[in-house]
Amino acid sequence: MRRILMISSYVAHDPVGLTATSPPLLAAGIDVVGLPTVVLSNHPIRAHIAGITLDPRLVGDMVRALADNGWLASFDAIFSGYLPSLQHVEIVAEAVMRLRAAKPEITYICDPIFGDDPGGLYIDERSAHGIRDLLMPMADIMTPNRFELSWLSGSNVQSPADAVTAIANLSRPIVAGTSIPDGPTSLATVLTAADRTFIGRVEKWADVPHGTGDIFAGCLTAKLMHGEPPQTALAYALGGVRRALEISRGTDRMLPNFVDWRHISPVSIKAAA
């Protein structure tokens, strides 16, 4: 059984972070060990919220406990998502180095959750800089949205062609840029791997609940961890997001636990010229 260590947010009522990313991984038979950076009752957009940001030292202690129990070499991948402070970023960087020391071939997936359209950055800017300067150079796979891809690359991404250029500037093995503008009624996801680029297009829906990026990252990671080609993983991930939206239609939150992740209709993918 393949295993992944995930460090991100835990949000109980509104599936984002670990509660959105984990279901497709678990359905793929991957053992998920999730360490929270924050624990919240619900998404901060709600009128009322309760929760706590975990002290970065505590998150570091949890990683060290896993190490002291001799479990680090059992992981095949490490994933980072929502990191609210620079100290959390530094803990993840240390964790990646620890895991690579125990198992050099481990895969690091970085979902740089620090901003979105139209509001821009929603975490401490020092944390975003840390993700760019500390974590991005270590990442094997990255899944930024349009805003994050623009911010990380220093370019204004407004089309799939812009995304191809921006992804090249990141110089990482696999990057999937999501929510890329592609005309008035569709969004593109642009994935580059091993000097090949693939583009998937989906219809733009109104009033989409939060969590689509987390679900996409979970689906993509699940397929890549099982050795599927990047274009196959992309087709599945987009199909998974589409199915989650279909299941969740009529509600104000994602319902990933009601999706049959084993039977997803993939979205058509095209190789870029």
**What does pTM read for this prediction?**
0.96
What's the pLDDT band for 125 if we cut at 50, 70, 90? very high
pLDDT at position 273 over 80 = no
In this structure, how many other beta carbons lie within 10 angstroms of the beta carbon of residue 117?
Answer: 12
What's the pLDDT band for 7 if we cut at 50, 70, 90? very high
Q: What's the mean pLDDT in 190-207?
A: 92
N- to C-terminal Cα distance for the chain?
38
CA nearest to 182, candidates 199, 169, 207:
199
